């Protein structure tokens, strides 16, 4: 249980529903300046929640999301009454992002953070050829595929799940390494890695088989090499209603059919 919040700020997506909700809640509970807030209440969908998490990464502020979007897997149910009590009783979860360092065809280095996943995706009709090393030891000499990703526990229910990757509890000290439509080796379905692992991807035949790297919504085109690891320093804290915690969501997702 968190401390009873004294200072709340409301932020919203650009949709009409989200903006109207922010206006009503601000009138009910007040609106602190972002710099002075203890709790940020994010109103929108999962995409807006991820944006809010990136914008406040490392600030020490806690984020409580309420769904005014479509799926809302990262969000709590939208209700206007008893908000301070709900936040006080919410369960905090600490999330660490992935750090991506990508080198493009011109030798330039690009850095980006990902809360969900870092994915490498073929850029043309040609399948990608990718060499994979874990902690500087080659583990897969050549993966021929549409792509491959490293997903965090928070991102394991997103693109990773669509690619048949494993669902991870939020507190699991693991990362999911998941291929997208692997052709060779055909039976390889990915791996679970300790969250302290460093994953290096080398693009083979990059001119013939160009590959883009994507860290959540940041895309780097025509990469040659990509390094991915969990951040050692940056964190963000997300709060979930105790009645519908992240662990409960993960269990429910695994029994969907």
The CATH code that applies to domain 8-96+235-254 is 3.40.50.10330
Binding site listing for NAD(+)? 46-47, 116-117, 146, 154, 157-162
Strand bridging mode 147-151 / 198-204: unpaired
Mean local confidence (pLDDT), 204-223: 96
pTM of this structure: 0.86
- CATH code 2.60.200.30 region(s) in the chain: 98-230
Closest C-alpha among 47, 52, 81 to residue 64: 52
When comparing pLDDT for 255 and 174, which is higher? Answer: 174
- The reported pLDDT for the residue numbered 4 is 56
- According to DSSP, the residues that pair with 180 across neighbouring strands are 147
Catalytic, 46? Answer yes
The residue from 17, 36, 46, 241 that is catalytic is 46
Highest mean pLDDT among 84-93, 130-139, 231-240: 130-139
- CATH code 3.40.50.10330 region(s) in the chain: 8-96+235-254
Mean local confidence (pLDDT), 28-47: 93
Residue pair 201/129 in contact by the 8 Å Cβ criterion: no
Domain spanning 98-230: CATH 2.60.200.30: yes
Q: pLDDT tens-digit profile of 99-154?
A: 999 999 999 999 999 999 999 999 999 999 999 999 999 999 999 999 999 999 98
The runs of H, that is alpha helices, within 56-157 are 83-89
- The reported pLDDT for the residue numbered 1 is 46
């Amino acid at each position: 249980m968190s401390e009873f919040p004294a200072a709340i700020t409301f932020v919203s997506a650009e949709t009409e529903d989200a903006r109207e909700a922010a206006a009503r809640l601000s009138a009910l509970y007040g609106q602190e300046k972002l710099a002075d807030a203890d709790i940020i209440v994010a109103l929108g969908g999962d995409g807006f929640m991820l944006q809010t998490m990136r914008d406040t990464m490392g600030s020490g502020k806690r984020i409580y999301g309420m769904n005014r979007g479509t799926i809302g897997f990262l969000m709590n149910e939208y209700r206007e009454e008893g908000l301070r009590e709900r936040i006080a009783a919410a369960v905090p979860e600490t999330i660490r992002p992935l750090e991506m360092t990508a080198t493009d065809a011109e030798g330039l280095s690009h850095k980006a953070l990902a809360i969900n996943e870092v994915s490498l995706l073929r850029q043309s009709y040609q399948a990608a050829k990718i060499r994979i090393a874990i902690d500087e030891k080659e583990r897969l000499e050549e993966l021929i595929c549409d792509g491959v990703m490293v997903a965090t526990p928070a991102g394991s229910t997103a693109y990773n799940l669509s690619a048949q990757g494993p669902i991870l509890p939020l507190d699991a000290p693991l990362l999911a390494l998941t291929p997208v439509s692997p052709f060779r080796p055909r039976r390889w379905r990915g791996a679970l890695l300790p969250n302290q692992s460093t994953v290096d991807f080398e693009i083979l035949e990059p001119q013939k088989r160009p590959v883009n790297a994507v860290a959540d919504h940041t895309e780097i085109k025509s990469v040659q090499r990509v390094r991915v690891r969990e951040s050692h320093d940056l964190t963000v804290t997300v709060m979930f209603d105790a009645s519908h915690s992240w662990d409960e969501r993960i269990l429910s997702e695994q029994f969907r059919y």
